[in-house]
Structure 1
Amino acid sequence: MPLSRFERIRRRLRRAYESGRESARAGRDTPADVPEPARAASPVSPGPAAPPGATVVGAEPPTALHNSTSSRDDADVPHALRIAAAWSWRLIVVGVVFWALVKLVSTISIVVIPLAVALLLSALLAPAVGWLLRARLPRSLATAVVLVGGLAAVIGTLTLVVNEFIKGVPELAAKSTQGIQQIQDWLQTGPLHLSDNDLNRYLEEAQQWVNNNNERFTSGALSTATTLAEVLTGTVLVLFAAFFFLRDGNMIWRFLVRLLPVAARWKVDDAGRASWATLVAYVRATVLVAFIDAVGIGIFLVIFDIPFAFPLAALVFLGAFIPIVGATLSGGVAVLVALVDSGPVTALIILGVVIGVQQVEGHILQPLIMGRAVAIHPLAVIIGLAAGVVLAGITGALVAVPLIAVLNTAVRRLAARTVPDTPPDAVVVASRAP
């Protein structure tokens, strides 16, 4: 019976399919190490391609591409040079961003500096606000009481300092003349052996220098009004910012965290709260160390009847907020006052007291009190102070070390691989099994 055309086509397709299956099966069963029959190569028939593991005589080996390269040109560059170039352009980008941030901060420093001072003040007063909140006072009332009380303490201390300074100025002025005369006698009879003509010449040169720079001093005095206005504006901003930081700090921080992607919120929130705890501990430890320094130096100033004992102790207290160098410089002022008032012997004794207090601070107080709050290497403190002074003067020196401490804690928390604890106010939604 003759087959139809459709049946013939179907049988041909079937035979082709079976033949393909047999060829594939035979190819799988053939050993991979059996060499292919060699044949002569010619320009028309160049011959079989070399196996992957074959070595071709007279040809350069192919250059393997690294995972970090995308082309042959990148692979030809040494690996160390590619790594150095990658680090270089990334560091350039980071440097440009840092420079832009510094320029921005310097442009709006009249706002940034009061906010930084308000943040430090809030870290100092936050424990007191917490005590009043635990006593069931409303948050606004507790914040106002603590802020007004702190402001009253500062104003009262400044009033006492100014009053004692006004009372002691006439006596110190009278004794300063004697002190200057003693210094002149020492310059003449001491190892320098200066004559009266030399002293007069140096005094005339100093007077001439003052006359030549009179315009500079006058211009600085003319800008005092502007500086005073900036100080008053900054003080008002500090008070308002500190009030809202103490009252609504937690709400402000939550608002900032919600601006971040969801996956990063818990990590950033954990780092931020740990940084705030570090700042609070740092400020409290600094206040305690400064108080001990001021009391230690002030006691010896009272014992040796040095004028301005209370103002000098207050100056030591304020200077101790700048680590390492602050209390030393303020103690140097006490040594100068002792030199003018009581002579070189008493000044040397006060100098020994200042050095002794600094040694106690550096070897006992700092490791015992500050070491528990913040662990920062002294080299980092010195570099931070130098950079702060260059960028923002006294305010930069005051803010530099707390900023380093906060950044140290934040970076450590962000780099940690642990999962942050669940916030106490978090809402966990659980689904029921069907």
Structure 2
Amino acid sequence: MSRFERVRGRLRRAYQSGRESVRADRSAPSDGSETRVATPAVPGPAAPPSATVVGAAPPADVHSSTASRDDADVPHGLRIAAAWCWRLIVIGVVAWALLRIVGTIKIVIIPLAIALLLSALLAPAVGWLLRARLPRSLATAVVLVGGLVGVIGTLTLVVNEFIQGAPELSEKSSQGVRQIQNWLKTGPLHLSDTQLDRYIDEAQDWINSNTSDLTSGALSTAATLAEVLTGTLLVLFATFFFLRDGNRIWRFLVRLLPVAARWKVDDAGRASWHTLGAYVRATVLVAFIDAVGIGIFLVIFDVPFAFPLAALVFLGAFIPIVGAALSGVVAVLVALVDSGPVTALIILGAVIGVQQVEGHVLQPLIMGRAVAIHPLAVIIGIAAGVVLAGITGALVSVPLIAVLNTAVRRLAARTVPDTPPDAVVVAAQAP
């Protein structure tokens, strides 16, 4: 190596050391405090564990799940209970607020819920007409008008049969009341005419004293006629637009969510809609089978109002477990008044048999496991629906539970929904 190369190497090393010193000066704190460079520890005697460094603060005994010493002093179980309590309080306040909002605008919420149920029922018919090359608006109008004609025709038949058979049933009801009076006299109770007259007078006094309440209830019912008409119109319009533009409405709602949550929510929503449609169609089929089965027995034993009672059974089947039993009791009472206890017992056996076939054969076979709900959840849902919204709440509660069950299961699943076929990948990074 020549002398010139040695000199150049020295100058290069000096230049690099100078740059490092400048960098060290720039990185030093600006408040004038010294930066101490750690030096290797010199071997020596180790301090005992109990030694205390003068001037040093004692270390804080903080648990890994706490943020301060105060939290560390609280027992672990109490901390967990308090955390659960305030979270449950927040959830309860939100649920209470939602119930208040729903109760305030229930005149809008209930028609929309009924429109969703009707849309889920009529959507396959609209799909058939669309596959037959009909315009979407025309297909929706045809299905909706056809459904209205069917409902109005059925109600007309029920009302006409009831009007024709009401006088005869009233006469037989009077005969049944007299038979009951004779049984109270000659039966195990051995009531006298004086006691019967006293009980009848007490019943009449109760009716007279509560006439004002009954009248006010009738007036309030008449006052809600405008609300019923408004709700009916809202159901018709909402059903029409749900059937025609339901897919576009759902896509609009999904686009309001963050991008990362859209596919998951869209998958859960479409699965819930499939569940709702399957539930409604299966319920209609089961209700129709119940009505036909019980109606056949009513016709065979010549029980009056066979068609209205079958229609009542059909409507009652939309309320699981409870509705079919109540409508069956009405049929049994009519048979008891008209044809006596033997026919009533036969009708009761027919109602019980049809309900057993429904519960153990039809519902598991038709509905399947996709919309299966535990009976306890059904009972609680019906009770809550009756308390919140009466008969309408009982009708809507079980489909709502089925939809929420499917939605929660899909949202809680760890699987990622399939990529839509029209999705476009903008950019991708290699892992």
TM range (shorter): 0.7 to 0.9
Q: Partner residue of 2:144?
A: 147
When residues 140 and 270 of structure 1 are mapped into structure 2, their CA distance, relative to the original with a 3 A threshold, is: same
CA distance in 2, matches of 1:371, 1:361: 13
State, as a whole percentage, how many aligned pairs show the same letter.
Answer: 82
Q: Gaps (5+ residues) in structure 1?
A: 1-6, 18-22, 37-49
Q: TM-score, normalised by structure 2?
A: 0.87
How far the C-alpha of 1:55 sits from its partner, in A, is: 4.9
Superimposed CA distance per residue, residues 255-307 of structure 1 (whole angstroms, 9 cap, x where no aligned partner): 11111111111111110000000000000111111111111110000000000
Q: Partner residue of 2:350?
A: 353
Q: Partner residue of 1:410?
A: 407
Q: Partner residue of 1:371?
A: 368
Q: Partner residue of 1:97?
A: 94
How far the C-alpha of 1:342 sits from its partner, in A, is: 0.6
How far the C-alpha of 1:353 sits from its partner, in A, is: 1.1
Give the letter for the 1:300 counterpart. F
How far the C-alpha of 1:25 sits from its partner, in A, is: 7.5
CA distance in 2, matches of 1:65, 1:407: 42
When residues 125 and 65 of structure 1 are mapped into structure 2, their CA distance, relative to the original with a 3 A threshold, is: same
Write out aligned runs for 1:386-401 (5 A). Answer: 386-401=383-398
Write out aligned runs for 1:218-237 (5 A). Answer: 218-237=215-234
Superimposed CA distance per residue, residues 402-421 of structure 1 (whole angstroms, 9 cap, x where no aligned partner): 11111111111111111111
Write out aligned runs for 1:331-350 (5 A). Answer: 331-350=328-347
Give the letter for the 1:133 counterpart. L
When residues 24 and 76 of structure 1 are mapped into structure 2, their CA distance, relative to the original with a 3 A threshold, is: closer
* Helix, strand or coil at the partner of 2:367: helix
Write out aligned runs for 1:261-272 (5 A). Answer: 261-272=258-269
How far the C-alpha of 1:337 sits from its partner, in A, is: 0.6
Across the aligned residues of Structure 1 and Structure 2, the Cα RMSD in angstroms comes to: 2.5
2:323 matched to 1:322? no
2:45 to 35, 59, 64: 35
CA distance in 2, matches of 1:382, 1:63: 54
CA distance in 2, matches of 1:24, 1:79: 40
How far the C-alpha of 1:363 sits from its partner, in A, is: 1.4
Superimposed CA distance per residue, residues 93-115 of structure 1 (whole angstroms, 9 cap, x where no aligned partner): 10111111101111111111000
Q: Partner residue of 2:381?
A: 384
Q: Partner residue of 1:137?
A: 134
Give the letter for the 1:299 counterpart. I
Q: Partner residue of 1:167?
A: 164
Q: TM-score, normalised by structure 1?
A: 0.86
When residues 360 and 432 of structure 1 are mapped into structure 2, their CA distance, relative to the original with a 3 A threshold, is: closer
CA distance in 1, matches of 2:91, 2:84: 10
When residues 191 and 362 of structure 1 are mapped into structure 2, their CA distance, relative to the original with a 3 A threshold, is: farther
Superimposed CA distance per residue, residues 360-413 of structure 1 (whole angstroms, 9 cap, x where no aligned partner): 111111222223341211111111111111111111100111111111111111
Alpha-carbon contact 1:282-1:373 (below 8 Å) kept: no
When residues 211 and 429 of structure 1 are mapped into structure 2, their CA distance, relative to the original with a 3 A threshold, is: same
Q: Gaps (5+ residues) in structure 2?
A: 1-13, 25-36, 53-57
How far the C-alpha of 1:424 sits from its partner, in A, is: 4.0
CA distance in 1, matches of 2:341, 2:426: 76
Alpha-carbon contact 1:63-1:75 (below 8 Å) kept: no
